[in-house]
Amino acid sequence: MVRKPVELDGTGHRGQRTALKTIRGLGSARSGTEHFIQQRVTAIANFVLILVLVVVAIALSGKSYPDAVAFVGSPFVAVPLALAIISVCIHMKLGVQVVIEDYVHAEIAKMLLLLGNAFFALAVMAVSLFSIGRIMLQGLVLGSG
C-alpha cells in the first residue's frame, strides 16, 4: 500500500521528514513552538506580578533601612518579587534571543551574543535571588535584635 504524503504546507513537499515530524510542526530547527508558548506564559505572569510590584515599589519608597528590610523580607513581598524576577528573566532571555537572531547574521557573533544573552539572564536571576535571600535573613536578624 502506498501512503499519501502529508501536505500540511500545501506544497506537496515534506523533504526527509516523516509524517509524524511534519504533524508535530518540528522543522529543521527542531524547536520554536515552546519558545512561543513560554514567551506568552511568562508575559501573563509578568503582567500580574508587575502590577503587584508597582504597589510594593510605591510602598517601599521613603522607608528607613530597617523598615525596608522588614518589608522586602516579608513573604508577601519576597515571594512575588522572586517569582517576578524568574519570570521576567526567562521572558527577557527569549525576547533578546529573537532580536539577536533577527539582526545578527555573522555566525560567530550570533553564537557569542546568544551565549552572552543566556548567561546574562541567569546571572540577573542568581544575583536577585541571592539578594532577596540576604534581605530575608537580614530582616530576621534585625527583627530579633
Partner 1 sequence: MSATTEGGPAGRRPRPLSPHLSVYRPIVTMVMSIMHRITGMMNIAGLVLVVGYITALAMGQDTYALASAVYGSWLGRIVLVTFTWSLLHHMLGGVRHAIWDLGHAFGDVRYQLSWLTAIGSVSLTIILWVVIVVLEAV
CA distance linking residue 75 with residue 66, whole number of Å = 16
Q: Which three cell numbers stand for residue 46?
A: 509578568
Candidates 26, 45, 52, 96: give the one binding partner 1 (CB under 8 A): 96
49: its cell numbers? 506580578
CB of 134 to partner 1, least distance (A): 4
Give the residue ranges of DSSP H helices in the chain: 19-24, 33-60, 65-73, 75-103, 107-144
Rank residues 26 and 96 by Cβ distance to partner 1 and give the closer one: 96
Nearer to partner 1, 6 or 60 (CB): 60
Q: In this structure, are residues 56 and 81 in contact, taking their beta carbons and an 8 Å threshold?
A: yes
Asked if 75 touches partner 1 (CB under 8 A), the answer is no
Grid coordinates given for 103: 539582526
Report yes or no: 94 and 35 within 8 Å, Cβ to Cβ. yes
Stretch that binds partner 1, among 4-12, 17-25, 26-34, 85-93 (CB under 8 A): 85-93
> Smallest distance, Å, CB 9 to partner 1?
21
- Least Å distance between CB 11 and partner 1? 21
Which residues in 14-73 contact partner 1 (CB under 8 A)?
Answer: 40, 43-44, 46-47, 50, 54, 58, 61-62, 65, 68-69, 72
CB of residue 62 vs partner 1: minimum separation in angstroms? 7
Q: Which helix (H) or strand (E) holds 102?
A: helix 75-103
